Amino acid sequence: MKIAVAGTGYVGLVAGVCFAEKGHDVICVDVDEKKVEYMKSGHSPIYEQQLEELMVKNYEEGRLDYTTDYKMAYKDADAIFIGVGTPELPDGSANLEYVANVSRQIAESVEKDCLVVVKSTVPIGTNDKVEQFIKDSLVHNVKVEVASNPEFLAQGTAVRDTLEAKRIVIGTESREAEKILMEIYRPFNIPIVSVNRRSAEMIKYASNDFLALKISYMNDIANLCELVGADIEDVAWGMSYDPRIGSNFLNAGIGYGGSCFPKDTKALKYLASKYGYKLRTVEAAVDVNAEQKTKLFYKAADRLITFKGLKVAVLGLTFKPGTDDLREAPSIDNIELLLKHGADIYAFDPVGMENFKKKYPTQITYVKEPADALKDANVCFIFTEWADIKAITPEDYKEFMRTPLVYDGRNIYKKDKMKNAGVEYYSIGR
């Protein structure tokens, strides 16, 4: 099937590459000519496992291409997937400007009947508006339907999550639209949940917000564990055997980040408020996460008389391993506070430093190896559990640091091993 994909970020690019991998004829559309040429040369603009490899393979085999010419891409496509960003606005609502721009371009360009599929995360009811907007703006006498097909990929494992998804959710208002999507996803051989458009939109928000709530709940329990003398890892272990709870998303830490959970929790909270409803559980998850991010900074501030003039090692900048994404990363909140209090920061991250330099080009020192950050450091903060960071031994902290004082936001180490190595060690919920 001939597919056009609008947007080449995490959602659009991964979807386009995976569609091509499953045999469809795909063209990805982006407004940035340099980015398009970069992708044509076999490079991915985002760090994601397997992505570049599949980009090169499918481009060379003729199933995948990239362009800025949206009119050419959309005019005779069987299906057009919208995978552009819906960033958070100051009031917590989703910015639909990019979705609207693409919808207008589609209306001006399509010359045959086609299905428009919104993969972007959008508020409930948006697909209805997109369909009406396109129909109001059509230039040619063609039939266009809109369907919802939310993505459920996780950054760092996005390709695998797409090709080996647990389920595919589609939201349609006609048998014809459902049939087209079923045909597109038939080669994936994955269970398909077919519902109406608004239910599909809600499934996306409800899923992400539930996972965010689960993370915040465990962090809340972890904070109480510290006060009462319990160990959150033992608590999570005991909980994990209950099939009603499961073992995923039980790790305590310094909160969630990224492009989905923070934005989607606020968006659903905003949507509920528009209808006069208060989503108390989601609001609690947002509040807990906001406080959790800087928990270790304030713990360290209580321990130290000042950060001014101290060498502070920061290990991990991205919001999670396996990605170069910094959106809502706890490292940003903490580095802002550390800089404000006069710290001399030396930071290491295996893939996130180039992106971080765009925000802090000269304020902090970037190093190529963790040991360079730890050498003669007065204190160390761990914000991301990269393998390179987990490979650091307790003895390394004792050897390299001037004062082996470690604040671990990801509970990488066993407390007794750090203590036996002579490291003063603080973590979450233990």
Over residues 64-94, the pLDDT tens digits come to: 999 999 999 999 999 999 999 999 899 988 9
- Cα(291)–Cα(59) distance, integer angstroms: 45
Percentage of the chain beyond pLDDT 90 is 97
Per-residue pLDDT averaged across 178-199, rounded?
98
Looking at the DSSP bridge assignments, the partners of residue 6 are 29, 82
Entry pTM:
0.91
Query: Would you call 260 a catalytic residue per the annotation?
Result: yes
**At the topology level of CATH, where does 204-292 sit?**
N-(1-d-carboxylethyl)-l-norvaline Dehydrogenase; domain 2 (1.10.1040)
In this predicted structure, the answer to whether residue 259 has a pLDDT above a threshold of 90 is no
Residue 365 Cα to chain centre, angstroms: 26
- Cα(238)–Cα(223) distance, integer angstroms: 17
Backbone angles phi, psi at 329, to 5 degrees: -70, 135
pLDDT of residue 166: 95
**128: closest CA among 193, 200, 55, 178?**
200
CB atoms within 10 A of CB 123: 19
Per-residue pLDDT averaged across 314-337, rounded?
96
Backbone angles phi, psi at 168, to 5 degrees: -115, 130
Q: Which pLDDT band, with edges at 50, 70 and 90, does 155 fall under? A: confident
**227 contacts: CB under 8 Å, gap ≥ 6:** none
- Cα(344)–Cα(330) distance, integer angstroms: 18
Per-residue pLDDT of 3-38, as tens digits, reads 999 999 999 999 999 999 999 999 999 999 999 999
Per-residue pLDDT averaged across 390-414, rounded?
97
Where does the chain hold its CATH 3.40.50.720 domain(s)? 2-195, 295-426
Cα first-last separation, the chain: 54
Per-residue pLDDT averaged across 346-358, rounded?
97
Where does the chain hold its CATH 1.10.1040.10 domain(s)? 204-292
The correct answer on CATH 3.40.50.150 for the domain covering 295-426 is: no
* DSSP string for residues in 287-333: HHHHHHTTHHHHHHHHH-S--TT-EEEEE--SSSTT----TT-HHHH
Query: What architecture does CATH give domain 2-195?
Result: 3-Layer(aba) Sandwich (3.40)
**169: closest CA among 156, 185, 157?**
185
Strand positions, DSSP E, 11-133? 25-29, 64-67, 79-82, 114-118
In this predicted structure, the answer to whether residue 367 has a pLDDT above a threshold of 90 is yes
